Amino acid sequence: MKNTEIAFFLPPKTMNEATIYYVDILKKGFIEAGYDVVQIESLSQLTKFNKIFVMSAKWCFIAKILNPTARIITWFQGLGAEEALMTRNSIIRKRLWNCVEFFTMKFSWFNIYVSERMHDYYKETYKISDKNYFIMPCFNKQLNSEAFNVIGKYESPTFVYAGGLDKWQCIEQTLELFSLIEKDLPNASLTVLTKDTRRAEQLINKYCIKNYNIAFVALDDLDQELKKYKYGFLIREDHIVNNVSTPTKMNSYLANGIVPIYTNVIYDFNKKLNLRNSSLMLNVNDEVNVWKKSIIDFDDSSKNLNFRKEIGNEIELTFMDYYSKHRYINELKKYLIFLG
């Protein structure tokens, strides 16, 4: 393939730890396929390139209006229309996003999705089959092998929740669940890592949780903090926004040797993660007391001497496949060379 040029349109406000890591993998795939990658931030620069990578359907729409002949590569991070309805309860915003997403499906040259279910959703919703697409889950960390050797890590039922306190993140369901666990496991502890410490305190008091800690940890120090804990909560409701997602929180937990406790609503995890001994998947339709019993039983079974080795082996295999940046760089490179 002849060397060619592609602009990665990356406005500063769209970049964070997760997106930077993901985009860097895509950049390397394009570079290894023979492309010259140029990073741009200004809308005025969009008219100068024949191929442009953008980070959402909205930016595809804008780029195509400014540069109609350009080939646009669009990264679909989520479902704009469904999220507008879920988080803002806005039919108007949903309809606007529907229009933008339909436009993008029709005119984007190459699409990148975070799961097969997300690709299926867009195809089914807008009745448009895109021939050129690539699928890579969201992740931003490689395996921290030292996390499995923290003294006493797997001997006590220490739980962590890391993230925001929005309703869609199911923080109240998480706290209710832990409040029941604490009654059966008096030595259990919960740490909530969040910016909104005041709100976290209010919610924890609402559920009468006794053994807890609340903290805000800077991003650079997060791994050092996470590796202390045995379990991590990732509870989600059965909603299409969650069905298509691949939350980076799963990657963060596993990278630090944490046993994730999550509901079976994330299709990609159900299908592609093989974590029989190193995770606890809860049925979203079960009552919270059933969840509690599953966790108590799991904790009891984890007291065997081989537990650390078993989860270490399983998680390591996960990072050699599902969370392997080298795998996705190589697959993207091959696809781009074939595409020409």
pLDDT in tens, 26-75: 999 999 999 999 999 999 999 999 999 999 999 999 999 999 999 999 99
* Per-residue tokens: 254: 């596993």
pLDDT 10s digits, 217-246:
998 899 999 999 999 999 999 999 999 999
What pLDDT sits at residue 186?
Answer: 93
The 3-state DSSP class for residue 329 equals: helix
Q: What pLDDT is stored for residue 272 in this prediction?
A: 96
Q: Could you report the per-residue pLDDT of 158-214, keeping only the tens digit for each?
A: 999 999 999 899 999 999 999 999 999 999 999 999 999 999 999 999 999 999 999
Other Cβ atoms less than 10 A from the Cβ of 275: the count is 20
Q: CA gyration radius for the chain? A: 21
Q: How far is CA 120 from CA 50, 112, 217, 264, in A?
A: 28, 12, 37, 18
| Run of H or E including 36 | strand 35-40
- CA-CA distance, 196 to 194, in Å (whole number)? 5
Beta-carbon contacts of residue 287 (< 8 Å; ≥ 6 apart): none
Instruction: Establish how many alpha carbons lie within 13 A of residue 195's alpha carbon, considering only the half-sphere containing its beta carbon.
Output: 4
pLDDT digits over 237-293, tens only?
999 999 999 999 999 999 999 999 999 999 999 999 999 889 999 999 999 999 999
- What is the pTM assigned to this prediction? 0.95
Helix (H) or strand (E) holding 161: strand 158-162
In which band, very low, low, confident or very high, does the pLDDT at 304 lie, cut at 50, 70 and 90? Answer: confident
Query: What does the pLDDT read at residue 3?
Result: 54
3-state secondary structure of 192: strand
φ/ψ of 163, rounded to 5, equals 145, -170
Report pLDDT for 276: 87
Q: Any idea what DSSP says for residue 114?
A: S
Domains in the chain and their CATH numbers? 4-137+325-339 (3.40.50.2000), 145-320 (3.40.50.2000)
Single out the residue of 152, 163, 215, 214 nearest to residue 187, CA to CA.
Answer: 152
Distance CA 188, CA 94 (A): 42
Residue 170: per-residue pLDDT: 97
- Please tell me the distance from the alpha carbon of residue 248 to that of residue 80, in angstroms, as a whole number: 18
What are the tokens at 337? 């060379």
**100-116 residues labelled b (16+ CB within 10 A) or e (exposed):** bbbbbbebbbbbbbbbe
Q: Which element (helix H / strand E) includes 123?
A: helix 116-126
User: Encoding tokens for residue 220?
Assistant: 């650079």
Q: Residue 275's closest CA among 257, 297, 294?
A: 257
Residue 82 has pLDDT above 70, yes or no: yes
Question: Whose CA is closest to 321, among 271, 258, 266?
Answer: 271
For residue 3, the tally of other CB atoms under 10 A from its CB is: 8
- Residue 2's pLDDT band, with cuts at 50, 70 and 90, is very low
Burial of 131 (0-12, 13-18, 19+ CB in 10 A): exposed
Name the DSSP letter for residue 168.
Answer: G
For the chain, the helix, strand and coil percentages under 3-state DSSP, each to the nearest 5:
50, 15, 35
The pLDDT value given to residue 6: 97
Rounded-to-integer distance, Cα 212 and Cα 206, Å: 13
- Whether 327 has a pLDDT exceeding 50, the answer reads yes
Quote the Cα angle for 109-115-118, to 5°.
70
Tell whether the model's pLDDT for residue 1 goes beyond 60.
Answer: no
Over 71-113, what HEC string results? EEEEEECCCHHHHHHHHHCCHHHHHHHHHHHHHHHHHCCEEEE
Q: Averaged over 312-335, what is the pLDDT? A: 97
Q: Report the mean per-residue pLDDT for the chain.
A: 95
